[in-house]
A and B are shown apart, each in its own frame.
Chain A
Amino acid sequence: MLSAVELALAVPFVTAMVLAAAGRWLPRVVVDAVAMAAALTVIGLLGVVLWRAVRHGTVVVWLGGWGPHGGISNGIPLVADPFAAGLALVVAVLTVAALMFSWRYFTEVQAIFHVLMLMFLGAMCAFALTGDVFDAFVFFELMSTVAYVLTGYRAEEARTVHGALNFGVVNSIGAYLTLTGIALMYGRTGELGFAAIGERVRAAGEPDAGLLVAFTLLCTGFLVKAAAVPFHFWLADAHAVAPTPVCVLFSGIMVELGVYAVARAHWTILGGTADAVLAGFGAVTMLLGGVMCVLQPHIKRLLAYSTISHVGLLLTCVALMRADALTGAAFYLLGHAGVKSALFIGAGMLLNRFQTVDETELHGRARGMRVTSCLFLLGGLGLAGLPPGGMWLGKVLAERAAEPYGWWWFTVLGLLAAGLTGGAVLRVWLRVFHGAGAAPTRHPVEHEDAETAEPTPRKPLPMLVPGVLLLGGGLLTVVLPASAVAGGAEVFTTGYTEAVLYGEASVAPAGRPPSPWTFSGVASGLAGIVAALAVAALGVWGGRLPQPARLGTVLRGLHSGHVGDYIAWVLAGIALFAVLTVVTR
């Protein structure tokens, strides 16, 4: 009998294959219902797993009965600690939302859209749950392959193919470097499991330079997926052309899984001591993502750059290498998944109604769309850190965790990220839904094809409902039991090896994290909102102020869309990352 963890992988994959085989003959509604039922089943299964992991400690399943003897095994473990199971659960929830959004669309190619979505679900769950480095690479590749196809799904437009190709090339380069890192790691330790590699590294004493290089190469693919600067170039190109429900999964969880993998590798292999180099990359990512976000008139691109900024914050939280920072990161991730997904759904509503998501094109045209308008307003405030949203709570907890290191810049950059990204969204809200500011004088941009075969009705419920629910979830993340999340962070940082190799799963005793409802906590949230309002107001009415035009031109020039540039940056980035890591340790 398969365990719930294994079933959570089997259900999406088998259902996907059944739909691939029979999709040609099944009526559309059956395809929709079967895919939805599979995703809901995965939610149920992962819910059970998460419950068990929180209550009784990490659930470890060695596939094929190849469990360890004396801490040594040749098999592959699935490791469902609260964080891994929780992330897989987020994947499943967002998949349900995406399937709901696309309930009546994507009719073109049999049931292949649904097949790909279910494979994407399974691949991301497997990536989150596996306890083996090489297996993580395999499912990294599977989720990437599926993601390339989903990005290029509307293949009739040249720019779609361009975006998907950039995504594919850059991510594949990252994957090869990760594979190289795995080979080097095996060459040095003779092991492939996260826990087993870590044991060998610790037994050998301080990690030497070669091992550190192997580690940085191992992380490269994950950093590319996490869109850390300078590996981030593919993300906006891909998000701009991918269908809306796919963007929900990309921004909501796929990118974050890259951060998760870096964190997992760091803790299990290097043992988790504060990593200033990683923090530096995270800081630059936060800032550049925020600035680029403000510079975009294309709403999907704008949201994509805001994701880069927020992922930078998550990366910096990981770099702190503290359980309490991870608690903050977890809340931040959950809040971000809800809010950003809702915003992408809002962008999708605009695209289907007006065949464009260009802010200047849409100026004042969406006055009648009340619910979508609310999504943008609350979404923008959520990104800026509206209490009691998950992004506020997470950021406050992370700021507290950064205090002992004296990383004051974390608070500053966090405020900037919140202000820039939230402000950009609020600017869109003012201009598109209220016609604020001067009417555009720019030439109309070329139109995009709608994602729907026929125009959507005025209030397309299946599209709006997931947006509203996700936004609500993102803003009410605070209701989650904080002590359980803190416990999950504790288990993530300690006790992984014992649980995986020796079957000694424990529930880490963790108290409630400090309450965020203090003066400084609430002030931090309000400061973000004030900053966002200022950025939005400047964007709408600040036309006469001197613009840092040169900076914008240079930054836009760097994001050229030329895949050769992107690869040069990846190579330079990995060299820098490796050299700094070796030198600073």
Chain B
Amino acid sequence: MSKGVNGVRRLRLCLMAAGALGFAAVFTLAVLGLQPFGGDVHPYGDRAVRASLLRGTPNTVSSVNFDQRALDTLGEELILVASALAVVVLLRMVRREEEDEPGRHRYGPADVFEALRVTGYALLPVTVLVGVYVVAHGQLSPGGGFQGGVVLGTAVHVLYLTGDYRALDRIRPVPLFEGGEAVAAAAFVVLALAFAGLIIPMNAVVGVEVGCAFILVLAKFFEQALLVRETG
């Protein structure tokens, strides 16, 4: 039996190796004809800068994301929504499983230093503030809804690092964030299709959506890791 399995593995590796070699050859062929690295030919970039200045948007990246190619951003937003929904669906409670009350546990790194705990509580408002700043200044400086949203989404999880899972559970009621994510995504669909170019509101909506989605996904992972048990 093991001989057969080894044979199959060897065949698979041979096929893989042949494919990889062929791929490497054709890929090299394709790369050889490209513009040299660091050259000054950037057709799309040049046009994008011109176009963003034409509409008075100082940040070209924002102009591309939320105006010139807003439909791409819409699709990417919805991919994030779909992924968050995927986590909710696929990690849902199924038969053979049961969930503990979060209140019965004091999960998290149990024995944290007092210093870490105090720092964690102190960092929470600061991190939220940084998140809001990154979202709000997206039209001028590097940053914007996606980046700021990730900062916001991770901010509340500083509480987990302080060892206080119950506090984390209290400040992020899951239905609220599910609703927030969906409403923000709906608003973005309307903005992207009908009002492309309104950079500030679009950044804000994306920030809310991304922040909610991250909190939702992490909440489900926490539940799965900490509270759900197989009942056999």
Tell me the smallest distance from the CB of B16 to a CB of chain A, in Å: 4
A116 in contact (CB, < 8 A): yes
Task: Give 5 pairs: A residue, B residue, CB < 8 Å, sorted on A.
Answer: A64-B67, A76-B72, A122-B78, A123-B78, A145-B79
Contact B94 A14 (CB under 8 A): no
- Among the listed stretches A16-24, A264-272, A311-319, A528-536, which one makes contact with chain B, having 4 or more residues with CB under 8 Å of it? A16-24
Are A116's CB and B193's CB within 8 A? no
- In the complex, which residues of chain B have a beta carbon less than 8 angstroms from the beta carbon of A18? 182, 186
Q: Which B residues are CB-close (under 8 A) to A75?
A: 68-69
Hey, what's the 0/1 contact readout for A195-233 against B, CB within 8 Å counting as 1? 000000000000011110110110000000000000000
How far is A186 from B43 in the complex, measured between Cα atoms in Å?
A: 9
- A337 CA to B96 CA, complexed, in Å: 38
Known contacts A138-B76, A578-B26, then 4 further A-B pairs from the complex at CB < 8 Å, ordered by chain A residue: A126-B71, A155-B92, A155-B94, A576-B22
Q: Is A149 an interface residue (CB 8 A)?
A: yes
Chain B nearest CB, measured from A136 CB (Å): 10
Asked if B232 is at the interface (CB within 8 A of a chain A CB), the reply is no
CB pair A141–B186 under 8 Å, yes or no, is no
When distances are taken between beta carbons in the complex, the residues of chain B under 8 Å from A209 are 29-30, 33
Q: Which among B13, B19, B31 has the greatest number of chain A C-beta atoms within 10 A?
A: B19
B86 contacts the other chain (CB 8 A):
yes
Contact string, B18-50, partner A, CB cutoff 8 A, digits 1/0?
Answer: 111111011101111111000001011001100
Q: How far is the CB of A304 from chain B (nearest CB, A)?
A: 22
Q: Which residues of A contact B (CB under 8 A)?
A: 2, 6, 9-10, 13-14, 17-18, 20-22, 24, 63-64, 66, 72, 74-76, 108-109, 112, 115-116, 119, 122-123, 126, 130, 132, 134-135, 138-139, 141-142, 145-146, 148-149, 152-153, 155-156, 161, 180, 184, 186-188, 190-192, 208-211, 213-214, 216-217, 560, 562, 564-565, 567-576, 578-579, 582
Provide the bound-state CA to CA distance between A213 and B22, in Å.
Answer: 11
Q: Do B88 and A112 have beta carbons less than 8 Å apart?
A: yes
| Closest B residue, CB atoms, query A13 | B189
Which chain B positions have C-beta within 8 A of A188? 33-34
Bound complex: CA A217 to CA B96 (Å)? 44
Do A112 and B68 touch across chains, with their CB atoms under 8 A apart?
A: no
B95's closest neighbor in chain A, by CB? A156
Cβ A191 vs Cβ B30 within 8 A? no
Q: Which residues of A contact B12 (CB under 8 A)?
A: 562, 564-565, 568
Those of B152-183 within 8 Å (CB) of chain A: 175, 178-179, 181-183
Q: How far is the CA of A63 from the CA of B18 in the complex (A)?
A: 44
Give Cα A76–Cα B79 distance, bound, in whole angstroms. Answer: 19
Interface size class of B (residues with CB under 8 A): 35 or more
CB of B89 within 8 A of chain A?
Answer: yes
B189 touches A17 (CB 8 A): yes
Given the complex, which residues of A lie within 8 Å of B44, measured CB to CB? 74, 186, 190-192
Known: A152-B90, A208-B33. A116 touches B178 (CB 8 A): no
Q: A72-B47, A123-B78 are in contact. Are A6 and B193 (CB under 8 A)?
A: yes
A64 touches B92 (CB 8 A): no
Residues of A within 8 A of B183 (CB): 17, 21
Contact B185 A17 (CB under 8 A): yes
Are A64 and B197 in contact (CB-based, < 8 A)?
yes
Evaluate whether A149 and B86 lie within 8 angstroms (CB atoms) in the complex, with A135-B71, A187-B34, A582-B26 already known: yes
Whether A76 lies near B78 (C-beta < 8 A) is no
B194 interfacial by beta-carbon distance below 8 Å: yes
When the two chains form their complex, are residues A214 and B30 in contact, meaning their CB atoms are under 8 A apart? yes
A161 to B91, CA, bound (A): 11
Complex CA distance for A214 and B27, rounded to whole angstroms? 8
A184 touches B30 (CB 8 A): yes
Most chain B CB within a 10 A radius of its CB, from A2, A214, A572, A578: A572
B156: shortest Cβ distance to chain A, in Å? 20
Let me know if B89 and A74 touch, CB within 8 A: no
Instruction: Say whether chain B's binding surface is mostly helix, strand, loop, or mixed.
Output: helix
Task: Select which of A6, A14, A149, A578 is within 8 A of B89 by beta carbon.
Answer: A149
**B122 interface residue (CB < 8 Å to A):** no
A17 close to B186 (CB less than 8 A): yes
* B175 and A24 within 8 A (CB): yes
Residues of chain A contacted by B43 (CB below 8 angstroms): 190-191
CA distance A560 to B7 in the complex (A): 14
- Which B residues are CB-close (under 8 A) to A9? 193
In the complex, which residues of chain A have a beta carbon less than 8 angstroms from the beta carbon of B82? 116, 119, 142, 145-146, 149
Q: Is B194 in contact with A2, judged by CB distance below 8 angstroms?
A: yes
Is B103 interfacial (CB-CB < 8 Å)?
Answer: no
Q: What string of 1s and 0s marks CB contacts (under 8 Å) between B66-88 and chain A?
A: 01111110111011011101101
CB pair B182 A569 closer than 8 Å:
no
Tell me which residues across on chain A come within 8 A of B182, comparing CB atoms: 17-18, 20-21
How far, in angstroms, from A149 to B85 measured CA to CA in the complex? 8
Tell whether, in the assembled complex, residue A575 and residue B31 are in contact, meaning their CB atoms are under 8 Å apart. Answer: no
Given A108-B92, A115-B85, verify A13-B78 contact (CB < 8 Å): yes
- Give the docked Cα–Cα distance between A571 and B18 (Å): 9
Q: Which residues of A contact B94 (CB under 8 A)?
A: 155-156
A145 engages B86 (CB within 8 Å) = yes
Let me know if B30 and A24 touch, CB within 8 A.
no
Q: Please indicate the chain A residues that have their CB under 8 angstroms from the CB of B27 in the complex.
A: 180, 213, 217
Does B124 sit at the interface, judged by CB under 8 A?
Answer: no
Q: B126 within 8 Å of A by Cβ? A: no
The answer to whether A142 and B78 have CB atoms under 8 Å apart is yes
Which of the listed residues B70, B81, B92 has the most CB atoms from chain A within 10 Å of its own CB? B81
**A578, B22: Cβ atoms closer than 8 Å:** yes
The distance from the CB of B195 to the nearest CB of chain A, in whole angstroms, is: 9
CB-CB under 8 A from B69, the residues of chain A are 74-76, 134-135
Who on chain B is nearest to A76 by CB?
B71
B29, A210: Cβ atoms closer than 8 Å: yes
List the 6 closest A-B pairs by CB distance, nearest first: A575-B22, A190-B43, A571-B19, A572-B19, A64-B196, A17-B186
Contacts of A578 in B (CB 8 A): 22-23, 26
Q: Give A152 to B189 CA distance when docked, in angstroms.
A: 26
What residues on B are CB-neighbors of A10 within 8 Å? 189-190, 193-194
* Nearest-CB residue, chain A, relative to B76: A138
A213 contacts B29, CB within 8 Å? yes
B130 within 8 A of A: no
In the assembled complex, the CB of A109 is this many whole angstroms from the nearest CB of chain B, namely 5
User: A24 contacts which chain B residues (CB < 8 A)?
Assistant: 175, 178-179
Residues of A within 8 A of B25 (CB): 575, 579
Interfacial chain B residues near A573, Cβ < 8 Å: 19
Question: In chain A, what residue has the closest Cβ to B33?
Answer: A210
Q: Which of B22, B32, B74 contacts A579 (CB 8 A)?
A: B22
Contacts of A72 in B (CB 8 A): 47
Roughly how many angstroms separate A326 CA and B226 CA in the complex, as a whole number? Answer: 55
Whether B75 contacts A135 by the Cβ 8 Å rule is yes
Q: Which of B41, B48, B186 contacts A14 (CB 8 A)?
A: B186
Taking CB as reference atom, which chain B residue is nearest A150?
A: B89
Q: How far is the CA of A210 from the CA of B88 in the complex (A)?
A: 43
